[in-house]
Amino acid sequence: MQSVRERFVDRNESWGGRRRARRWDWLVEVFPDLDQMSVIDLGGDAATWTQSPLHPKQVHVVNIDVPPAEVPDWITVDQGDACALPAEIASRRYDLVFSNSVIEHVGGHERRLRFAESVHKLAPAHWVQTPYRYFPVEPHWIAPGMQFLPVRARAALARRWPLAHVRSADLHDALTGVLWTELLDRSQMRYYFPGAELLSERLAGLTKSLIAVKRS
């Protein structure tokens, strides 16, 4: 079943990969001068940018994971918490803050507020994407309606669901994954990004993800 997930979601040539490519085209349409911009990517990875058809003048990736050993000279990668940035990063300014499917994983309302504060302080423009809570399929496990189940039921499903991105080793591991995944709705995104335009990425007429966009 993992090969099924890869074929439909994970690979660049998969259905999911084509959706990501269309989202990238949308980003360039909204920010046509992206190749001249300095960008900070909160919670992303260098591969997103090295595999893109067009790259900004400079990209700074900040992620809690250990940085890769080698990246192109136009990319900087630092280990850090986007909700509590080190002073040397928080004091910098960029043209654009980019974040893809991160805010739903930072850990509760207070942490999402801190994340949004980082977005607002770092640049005059932003592109913050997150899966939409009320799309009928939970996107991390590719499981219909999973986000509406009680926590224990979600964890039990996470342990056994064959299309999960990473299989849980035990119940505690499954609970960790479930509790660190909180899908957001429109009201929440408008609250965290009040000056932004809220775009809807649709699938079969239904909103699949939300993108808070602020043009400088």
pLDDT tens by residue, 120-136 = 999 999 999 999 999 99
Both 189 and 106 in a single domain? yes
pLDDT value at 141 more than 80: yes
Q: Which domain holds residue 158?
A: 141-180
Both 155 and 113 in a single domain? no
Instruction: Give the pLDDT score at 163.
Output: 85
Give the DSSP per-residue string, 14-44: SHHHHHHHHHHHHHHHHSTTGGG-EEEEES-
Distances (CA, A) of 208 to 5, 152, 161, 200, 202: 18, 25, 21, 7, 5
| Number of domains making up the chain | 2
Both 101 and 50 in a single domain? yes
Instruction: Give the pLDDT score at 7.
Output: 55
pLDDT one-digit tens code per residue, 1-42: 555 555 555 555 555 556 667 889 999 999 999 999 999 999
Distance CA 87, CA 144 (A): 41
Residues in contact with 177: Cβ distance below 8 Å, sequence separation at least 6, in sequence order: 140, 155, 158, 166, 168
pLDDT value at 213 more than 60: yes
pLDDT value at 44 more than 60: yes
